[in-house]
Structures are given as C-alpha cells and as structure tokens.
C-alpha cells in the first residue's frame, strides 16, 4: 500500500469510539539488525505517549511551521517525527525517496522550518549546499541521529548553516525514539569553545530527556561514576524492552540494557562508544571500533570509515579499517595506519586498511557491519 492510498483510507475512517488500553501494543517495529538478526520490538500506547508528551509541548508550533520528514515510516525515528509534529500542530511534508537535491528543493518550496535526517542524508545535503547554488532561508531547526556521525561533518554543517539550530538525537527502537539530546546551544558552545572539555561535547549525544534515567554499569552490574566507560542502561515510561516471542527483557527494577558502550561526563553529557556486540578482542585486549573510527574520520582524505574485527589465527581477531576516501583522494594505507598509531596505542592500530566506494548501510544510515565482516571473511578464506 502506498502512502497516498493509506492517507486516503485514513481520511474516510470513522473516529474511534473509545480510547485504546494504554498498555496495549500500539506498533511493532524491527530493530536495524546491523550486527545480528533484527528483533520485533513491541511499543505500547503508553510508551509512545510518554515520549511525545515528555519532549514536545502540545500545539506549540506557529501557523507557518512546516516539518520535512524523509526518515522511513517503518523506523522509530520516522514514527517519532510524525507523532511529535502532529502533537505540536505542525504541517508535515513527506519525502518518500531521499535525494539531496530534491530535499533542498522541497525545503524551499514548502518553506520548511524543521527537519529530521540521518547522517548519510546530512552529508549529501551539506555537499549540495557547499556548491553555493542553494540556500535554506526558512530552516530554523535540523535534527540528526539514527547512527554515528563524524565530527568533521557536524562542523561543516554548523559553519555552513550558522543560523540553524542543530540537534543530535540519540535513541533506540526499544526506547520509543529519543532518550538524549544535544541541543542547539550545546552545538554552538562546543564549536566556539577554547576549553577542551566543552569542545569535546560536540561528540556527545547530550543529556537525557525528561522522564528518562540512565546508568553506566561495569562488569557484574556495578554502577559506574562520571568518566568511566561501561554499558548503558535506561529506564522510563517510554522504555519498552519487550520483544515479540520473547517478552520483556527489563530487569527487576525496570532497567533496559541497551548494549551500547557509553560514558557520562561530570555534567551529565552522554558519550556513546558503539555497540558492545562490535567489540574487537585482539590478543586478549578489548577494542571499541568507535575509538579508531573517531581518529580516522578526522583524516582529511577519509570521508567515511568502519572498523571491524575479523578472525585471525594469531590474534584471535584482526583489526580491519574499511575506508571510503574523500572525493579525489588516494590515501595510502600505511599513512592511515601511522595516523592511528600516533593517537592511540600500537595495539589499536589497524592490521589492514581496505578501501571501498561506500559502506553498506540500512535505510537510516547505520553501517551493516555483518555484511562487511562477511565480505572480508570471503576475501580471505
């Protein structure tokens, strides 16, 4: 069924005669399945309502406000964007198939004031705007999220659109969308900061939204303090943690284990270090791919990068950096390895660097590490 057919049917439907049970399942969405098979997440009416009412003020939009949505409707970001804008009373413009030039054209034609994109979309939009042929005069707010974003891209976007309020939104399907936000003020303060700690916050996902509690736990479930890295646990009315055929995976106190590696700083800013499932174990040492990716993405000849572990008879796993070069660049693998070695310990230096025209991703821009690992395993078997 097309979106036009769905809207036509919805317009002719009779209003519901009674409200749904708040604890009844409202929607079932699948996780992205970047490292394992997708799981069916059950979100209740209460989960979704708690997210919307906790992050959006009812009927807060101005009469001329318009939101451009291009995130797929089967993804929690698309569902969250639709519900939030509906609750705010904002006109919604839906772009079915993303194209950066069409996105810019539509943003101008519909006088879009707010939009939500994933990092791969943001990268292409910025590239279009950098030609100098287009402007976004009505855009006031631009939210991005759904996957990790490189700081060079964020800096390019901030410098290109200084009057736009950027928001980094972090969340999961199991949490009914956003649970932490890096605000426009946070972006501006970090970009212009001379203090290293303040500047570093540009790489965070901000602070938890109202109604959401977070904990960082170490091995054995010990709650860790600021500055310590462990697994992120979250709790709140918007958190489901329930899968079809499995049931609830919340612990006895209602906490959900996200499987994301994270750290809180002294002021409550949350830093995400990737998935625990992605951890590379090389020679008995645990290595987070995100640590290497954050270094490599700063190299001027690197446009995108994913670091994965592949089976190795000597080390257990070898570190492989899969690099998408910048336009016109021809980076040297040994130079990139040395670039990492200068910033991190020698044991964290990639054993191999391979180049690709693009990384395999989901529709929302998350890197499909499973496919990369399978491809690399096939080339070495």
Domain shared by 335 and 314, yes or no: yes
242-243 and 229-235 beta bridge pairing? unpaired
Could you tell me the CATH number of the domain that includes residue 169?
3.40.50.12780
Domain shared by 30 and 81, yes or no: yes
For residue 17, give both structure tokens: 């005669």
Could you tell me the CATH number of the domain that includes residue 234?
2.30.38.10
| CA–CA gap between residue 261 and residue 20 (Å, rounded) | 36
Domain shared by 347 and 230, yes or no: no
For 347, list phi and psi in degrees, rounded to 5.
-70, -15
Helices (H), 41-150: 45-55, 76-88, 100-109, 119-129
Could you tell me the CATH number of the domain that includes residue 361?
3.30.300.30
Query: Which of 240, 256, 276 lies at the terminal end of a domain, its last residue?
Result: 276
Region 344-350: mean pLDDT is 88
Domain shared by 60 and 146, yes or no: yes
Task: State residue 2's pLDDT score.
Answer: 76
Domain shared by 33 and 106, yes or no: yes
| CA–CA gap between residue 97 and residue 311 (Å, rounded) | 37
Task: State residue 11's pLDDT score.
Answer: 78
Tell me the whole-structure pTM to 2 decimals: 0.84
pLDDT over 50 at 381, yes or no: no
CB atoms within 10 A of CB 209: 20
Tell me what percent of the residues of the chain surpass a pLDDT of 90: 74
Task: State residue 58's pLDDT score.
Answer: 87
List Cβ neighbours of 375 (8 Å cut-off, separation of 6 or more): none
Q: What is the pLDDT of residues 171-200, one digit of tens each?
A: 999 999 999 999 999 999 998 888 888 889
Task: State residue 72's pLDDT score.
Answer: 87
Work out how many domains the chain is built from and give that number. Answer: 3
Which is higher by pLDDT, 35 or 278? Answer: 278
Task: State residue 19's pLDDT score.
Answer: 87
| CA–CA gap between residue 361 and residue 373 (Å, rounded) | 13
For residue 208, give both structure tokens: 């938890």
| CA–CA gap between residue 195 and residue 266 (Å, rounded) | 15
Region 335-346: mean pLDDT is 93
| CA–CA gap between residue 308 and residue 319 (Å, rounded) | 6
Region 58-75: mean pLDDT is 93
Domain shared by 25 and 55, yes or no: yes
Domain shared by 199 and 154, yes or no: yes
Task: State residue 173's pLDDT score.
Answer: 94
pLDDT band at 13 (very low <50, low <70, confident <90, very high): confident
Domain shared by 33 and 67, yes or no: yes
Which is higher by pLDDT, 281 or 34? Answer: 281
Q: What is the pLDDT of residues 241-292, one digit of tens each?
A: 999 999 999 999 999 999 999 999 999 999 998 888 889 999 888 899 999 9
25-30 and 91-94 beta bridge pairing? unpaired
pLDDT band at 102 (very low <50, low <70, confident <90, very high): very high
Domain shared by 156 and 217, yes or no: no
pLDDT band at 36 (very low <50, low <70, confident <90, very high): low
For residue 241, give both structure tokens: 């943690």
Q: 26, 50, 21: which is closest to 242 by C-alpha? A: 26
Domain that holds residue 192: 3-206
Q: Give the dihedral of Cα atoms 180, 147, 287, 279; nearest 10 deg.
A: 100
Mean pLDDT of the chain: 92
8 Å CB contact between 282 and 316: yes
Domain shared by 197 and 73, yes or no: yes
Query: Which of 235, 255, 276 lies at the terminal end of a domain, its last residue?
Result: 276
Domain shared by 108 and 78, yes or no: yes
Q: Give the dihedral of Cα atoms 298, 302, 306, 307; nearest 10 deg.
A: -70
| CA–CA gap between residue 347 and residue 214 (Å, rounded) | 32
């Amino acid at each position: 069924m097309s979106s036009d057919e769905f809207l036509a049917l919805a317009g002719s439907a009779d209003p519901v005669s009674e409200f749904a049970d708040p604890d009844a399942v409202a929607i079932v969405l699948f996780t992205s399945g970047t490292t394992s098979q997708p799981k069916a997440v059950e979100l209740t009416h209460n989960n979704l309502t708690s997210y919307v009412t906790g992050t959006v003020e009812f009927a807060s939009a101005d009469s001329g406000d318009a939101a451009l949505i291009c995130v797929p409707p089967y993804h929690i970001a698309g569902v969250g964007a639709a519900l939030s804008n509906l609750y705010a009373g904002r006109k919604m413009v839906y772009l079915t198939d993303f194209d950066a030039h069409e996105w810019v054209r539509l943003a101008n034609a519909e006088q879009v004031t707010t939009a939500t994109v994933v990092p791969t979309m943001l990268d292409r939009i910025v590239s279009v705007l950098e030609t100098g042929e287009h402007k976004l005069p009505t855009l006031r707010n631009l939210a991005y999220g759904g996957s990790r974003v490189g700081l060079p891209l964020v800096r390019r976007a901030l410098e290109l659109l200084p009057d736009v309020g950027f928001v980094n939104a972090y969340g999961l399907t199991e949490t009914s969308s956003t649970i932490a936000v890096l605000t426009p003020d946070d972006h501006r303060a970090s970009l212009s900061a001379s203090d290293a700690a303040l500047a570093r916050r540009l790489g965070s996902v901000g602070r938890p939204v109202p109604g959401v509690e977070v904990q960082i736990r170490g091995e054995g479930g010990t709650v860790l303090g600021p500055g310590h890295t462990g697994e992120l646990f979250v709790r709140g009315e918007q958190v489901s943690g329930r899968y079809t055929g499995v049931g609830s995976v919340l612990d006895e106190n209602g906490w959900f284990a996200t499987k994301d590696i994270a750290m809180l700083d002294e002021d409550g800013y949350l830093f995400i270090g990737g998935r625990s499932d992605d951890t590379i174990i090389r020679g008995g040492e645990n290595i987070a791919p995100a640590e290497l990716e954050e270094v490599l993405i700063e190299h001027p000849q690197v446009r995108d990068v994913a670091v994965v572990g592949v089976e190795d008879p000597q080390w257990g796993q070898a570190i492989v950096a899969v690099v998408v070069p910048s336009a016109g660049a021809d980076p040297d693998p040994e130079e990139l390895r040395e670039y990492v070695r200068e910033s991190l310990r020698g044991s964290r230096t990639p054993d191999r660097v391979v180049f690709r025209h693009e990384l395999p991703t989901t529709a929302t821009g998350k890197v499909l590490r499973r496919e990369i690992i399978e491809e690399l395993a096939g080339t070495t078997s």
